[in-house]
Amino acid sequence: MGGRVTMSLGAAGHANRWKGRGMRLVVDLNKCQGYAQCVPLAPDVLRLIGEEALVYDPNPDESQHQRVLRAAASCPVQAIILEVDPPADRDAR
Ligand code: SF4
C-alpha cells in the first residue's frame, strides 16, 4: 500500500480520520484570494505575509490537525487541499 490519498473536505473533516497519520497540506495559490479567513484558525501553520502572500507549513504536526481542518473548511474558495501522508511514506524520508 502507500501513496497519497486526497480527501474531500467532507471526509477530511472528521478529525479521527487523521489520528496517527501525517497530514500534508497544499494551498492552491492560483485559487487563494488572500482573504485570510484561514489564518487566525491555524496561525502556527498558515501565515499571511504582506497583503496576500500566504505561506504555510506543508506537514503540520498532529497537534495542529484540528485547527487545519477548521481553516480548510473556512476557505471560501476551497484552496486548502489536505492529503493523508501515510506513515510508510514518512519513514522513507
Ligand atoms: S481562506 Fe482560502 S483564500 Fe483565504 S487566504 Fe486562506 S487559503 Fe487563501
Instruction: For residue 10, tell me if it sits in a domain.
Output: no
C-beta 29 within 6 A of ligand 1:
no
Instruction: For residue 64, tell me if it sits in a domain.
Output: yes
Residue nearest to atom 8 of ligand 1 (CA): 32
40-67, pLDDT tens digit by residue?
Answer: 999 999 999 988 789 999 999 999 999 9
**Which residue has cell 492560483?**
30
Provide mean pLDDT across the span 80-86.
Answer: 86
Instruction: For residue 90, tell me if it sits in a domain.
Output: no
Instruction: Tell me how far the alpha carbon of residue 88 lies from the centroid of ligand 1, in angstroms.
Output: 30
* pTM of the model as a whole: 0.78
Percent of the chain beyond pLDDT 70? 75
Domain range spanning residue 57?
Answer: 33-84
State how many domains the chain has: 1
**Which residue has cell 487541499?**
81
* Structure confidence at residue 2 (pLDDT): 44
Residue-wise DSSP of 23-92: EEEEE-TTT-----SSGGGSTTTEEEETTTEEEE-SS--GGGHHHHHHHHHH-TT--EEEEEE-HHHHHH
Atom number of ligand 1 nearest to Cα 29: 8
The CATH number that applies at residue 50 is 3.30.70
Residue nearest to atom 3 of ligand 1 (CA): 32
22-32, pLDDT tens digit by residue?
Answer: 999 999 999 99
